[in-house]
A and B are shown apart, each in its own frame.
Chain A
C-alpha cells in the first residue's frame, strides 16, 4: 500500500508540475538563477581567500642584527634560526652584501652612497617560509625570534598582514551575508509560487480533506513538487557554473596570473552535489512553508 500511495503522490507531483508549467518555470528559473549567483559568488569568495592566503604565504621575516655582530656570531644565529624554523629558507646577509644590494636597487642614484664614510646598514637574516604560514603563526614566530640574543629588530610586514587579515574577515562576513540573502530570496519565491499553486488547487485540497486525507497526504505532492523544482533549478545552476568553468575560465586565466600558485575557481563533484542538495532543500522548505500556512487556515 505504501508503495502505490507513494507512486501515486509522486505521479501527482509530476502531473501538477506539468499542468501549471508557467509558475513552475518561474520557480525553477528563480532557484536556478539564485543558486548560480550564489555558487559563482561562493567560488569568487574562495578564490579571493586563496589569493589572500597566498599573499600571506609570501610574507618573509627579516631579523636586523646588532651593529657590532661579527660574521661568525651572525652565522651561528642563522643556524639557530634554521633549527627553529626548519621549513624555511634562512639566509644571512652581511653588511657589505646589504650595501651592494642597495646600490643595485638605487640604480642611477647609487652614486649618493659614495659619500658615506662607513656602511650604515646592519647585518640581517632573511627567513622565507616555504609553506604558507597563517598570519597569527607569523606573528608568534616573529615575536619568538625577536627574543634571540643579537637581534635588534624584526620586520615581518605587520601592517600589510593586518590589512590582509581585515580584508579576509570582511570578505567572509560579506560572503556569508550575501549567500544567506540569495538563499532567502529563492526560498521566498518558491514559497510564493507553491502558495499560488496551493491556492489554485484549494478546491481539490478541500475535497481531499473532506474524504479523509491526512495533512501529510495533502502536503506530500506539494513538497515533492517543490523539491523537484529545487532540484531542476539547481541542475540548471550547476550546468551554468560548469559551462562557465569549461568555456569562460580558461580565457580568463590571464587575469589570475598576478597570483602565482592560485588556481582559478573549480567546482568538483562534492560541490555539485552540495548545490543540488541546497536546491532540493530550498524547494522542500519553501513548499513546507506555503502548504503549512494553507493547512493552518
Chain B
C-alpha cells in the first residue's frame, strides 16, 4: 500500500529531517510511527499526502509514484487519504455535521447524500446527538472524534493520524484510539504518529521508530 525508497528530506542550512528512509506498509496494516519530537514523524506523514515533497527518493502509495505526481493530481490522491491532526483543524463557523460532510462536498455528493453519510459517520463515533453543535461547544475528545469522522466519511483506503491524542486527557485517549482500530478492522490502512510510548506498550502493533530522521526500529 505504502512504499518508501531511500527517501530524504532536508531544508537548506539544516540537518536532514529524514535520511534514507526505506520501508513498506502493507494494505490493512496498523502502524505506530514513533520517536521523540523532531524525529521526522510529521514530515514523513506530510510526504505521504503530498503536503511536502522529498528532497530525494521515491514514494509509492497504492502503486502510484507520488513524487512524480503532477500538481493537478494531488487532490485526487488526497481523496483516498484521511488525515487527522493533533489540533483537529475543524471549521469554527460550521456545525459538526457540516464539518464532517466537508470532504463529501468537495467530492461532489448531493446535499441529501452528504447529510445522510455524515450523520451515519457521526453516529459511529458516538456524536449523532451533537450534529448541529458548533465545534467550540465540544470537548477536545469530541472535537477529535469529529475530525476522525471527517477523515473517514468518504471511506479512504489510508488514514494518517498525527499525534491524534496529543491534546487530550489520558482518559479520552483510549476512546479515540478505538475509533482508529475500528477503521483498521474495516480494512483501512492506518498510520499513527505518536511520541507517547505508553500507547505502544498498551496496544501491540507494528512500530516504526524514527530518530534524527532515520529508522531505528521496525518491529
**Do chains A and B stick together as partners?**
yes
Interface residues of A (CB under 8 A from B): 1-2, 4-5, 8, 19, 203-204, 206-215, 217
- Distance in Å from the Cβ of A141 to the closest Cβ of chain B? 64
A204 vs B92: C-alpha distance in the bound complex, in angstroms?
Answer: 9
Q: Which residues of A contact B102 (CB under 8 A)?
A: 207-208, 211
> Counting CB contacts under 8 A, is B52 at the interface?
no
Query: Are A204's CB and B150's CB within 8 A?
Result: no
Q: Which residues of B contact A210 (CB under 8 A)?
A: 49, 78, 83, 89
> Counting CB contacts under 8 A, is B172 at the interface?
no
Q: Which residues of A contact B108 (CB under 8 A)?
A: 1-2, 4-5
A218 vs B110: C-alpha distance in the bound complex, in angstroms?
Answer: 18
Q: What 10 A-B pairs are tightest by C-beta distance, nearest first? A: A211-B103, A212-B79, A212-B78, A213-B106, A1-B108, A212-B75, A214-B75, A5-B108, A211-B106, A4-B110
A5 vs B76: C-alpha distance in the bound complex, in angstroms?
Answer: 17
Q: Which residues of B contact A5 (CB under 8 A)?
A: 108
The secondary-structure label for the interface of chain A is: helix
Size of the B side of the interface (Cβ < 8 Å), in residues, is 22
Query: Are B78's CB and A207's CB within 8 A?
Result: no
Query: Are B72's CB and A211's CB within 8 A?
Result: no
> Counting CB contacts under 8 A, is B91 at the interface?
yes
Query: Are A208's CB and B106's CB within 8 A?
Result: yes
Q: How many A-B residue pairs have CB under 8 A?
A: 49
20 of the cross-chain contacts (CB-CB < 8 Å) are A1-B108, A1-B110, A4-B110, A5-B108, A8-B105, A203-B89, A203-B91, A207-B89, A207-B102, A208-B102, A208-B106, A210-B89, A211-B78, A211-B79, A211-B150, A212-B106, A213-B106, A214-B72, A217-B75, A217-B106
Instruction: Report the nearest B residue to A8, measured CB to CB.
Output: B105
Instruction: Report the nearest A residue to B91, measured CB to CB.
Output: A204
A206 vs B85: C-alpha distance in the bound complex, in angstroms?
Answer: 13
> Counting CB contacts under 8 A, is B111 at the interface?
yes
Instruction: Report the nearest B residue to A213, measured CB to CB.
Output: B106
Query: Are A206's CB and B89's CB within 8 A?
Result: yes
Given contacts A211-B78, A214-B75, 12 further A-B contacts (CB under 8 A): A1-B110, A4-B110, A19-B93, A203-B89, A207-B102, A211-B79, A211-B150, A212-B76, A212-B77, A213-B75, A214-B72, A215-B72
From 133 to 188 in chain B, residues with beta carbon under 8 angstroms from any chain A beta carbon are 150, 154
Interface residues of B (CB under 8 A from A): 49, 71-72, 75-79, 83, 89, 91, 93, 102-103, 105-108, 110-111, 150, 154
Q: Which residues of A contact B72 (CB under 8 A)?
A: 214-215
- Distance in Å from the Cβ of B32 to the closest Cβ of chain A? 22
Question: Which of B71, B106, B108, B110 lies at the interface centre, i.e. has the most chain A CB atoms within 10 A of its CB?
Answer: B106
- Distance in Å from the Cβ of B3 to the closest Cβ of chain A? 22
Question: Which of B72, B79, B102, B105 lies at the interface centre, i.e. has the most chain A CB atoms within 10 A of its CB?
Answer: B105
A215 vs B103: C-alpha distance in the bound complex, in angstroms?
Answer: 14
- Distance in Å from the Cβ of B74 to the closest Cβ of chain A? 8
A52 vs B103: C-alpha distance in the bound complex, in angstroms?
Answer: 63
- Distance in Å from the Cβ of A220 to the closest Cβ of chain B? 11
A205 vs B83: C-alpha distance in the bound complex, in angstroms?
Answer: 15
Q: Which residues of B contact A212 (CB under 8 A)?
A: 75-79, 103, 106-107
- Distance in Å from the Cβ of B125 to the closest Cβ of chain A? 17
Question: Which of A203, A208, A209, A211 lies at the interface centre, i.e. has the most chain B CB atoms within 10 A of its CB?
Answer: A211
Query: Are A209's CB and B75's CB within 8 A?
Result: yes
Q: Which residues of B contact A217 (CB under 8 A)?
A: 75, 106
A190 vs B128: C-alpha distance in the bound complex, in angstroms?
Answer: 42
A5 vs B114: C-alpha distance in the bound complex, in angstroms?
Answer: 12
A2 vs B108: C-alpha distance in the bound complex, in angstroms?
Answer: 8
Q: Which residues of B contact A211 (CB under 8 A)?
A: 78-79, 102-103, 106, 150, 154
A5 vs B113: C-alpha distance in the bound complex, in angstroms?
Answer: 13
A212 vs B107: C-alpha distance in the bound complex, in angstroms?
Answer: 8
Q: Which residues of A contact B110 (CB under 8 A)?
A: 1, 4
